[in-house]
Amino acid sequence: MGIMLLGFMAIGVAVVYRLMRDAPPPTIAASVSVPQGSEVISSLTVDGTIQVTYRAGGAVMLAVFDSKTGELRQSTEIAAQ
C-alpha cells in the first residue's frame, strides 16, 4: 500500500513539474521611463511590478511601474532623516 502511495505521489509531482515547466514566462514591459538626466541607482521586479530607484537633481525617488504595461503606478521621494 505504501509503495502504491509513493507511486501516485511521484506521478503527481511529475505532472505538476511538467505543467509549470511548459507554462509561458510572464510578460515584462520592454522599457520604463524616468525623467531625462536622472541617474538610476537600482531596479528590480517584485510581485508584478518594476521598482526603480533613481536620483533626479538632489532628490532620490522610487518609481513603481506595472510590469506588463510599463505604466507608472506610484512615485515616492525617499528622504534621509
Higher-pLDDT residue of 81, 39: 39
What CATH number is given to the structural domain containing 27? 3.10.450
Q: How confident is the model at residue 36 (pLDDT cuts 50, 70, 90)?
A: very high
Q: What's phi and psi for 10, nearest 5 deg? A: -65, -40
Q: Residue 19 pLDDT more than 90?
A: no
Q: How many domains does the chain have?
A: 1
Q: Residue 13 pLDDT more than 90?
A: yes
pTM of the model as a whole: 0.67
The string of DSSP letters for 16-75 reads HHHHHHTSPPPP--S-----TT-EEEEEEEETTEEEEEEEETTEEEEEEEETTT--EEEE
Predicted confidence at residue 80, as pLDDT, reads: 74
Predicted confidence at residue 72, as pLDDT, reads: 94
18: domain range?
A: 2-78
Q: Residue 81 pLDDT more than 90?
A: no
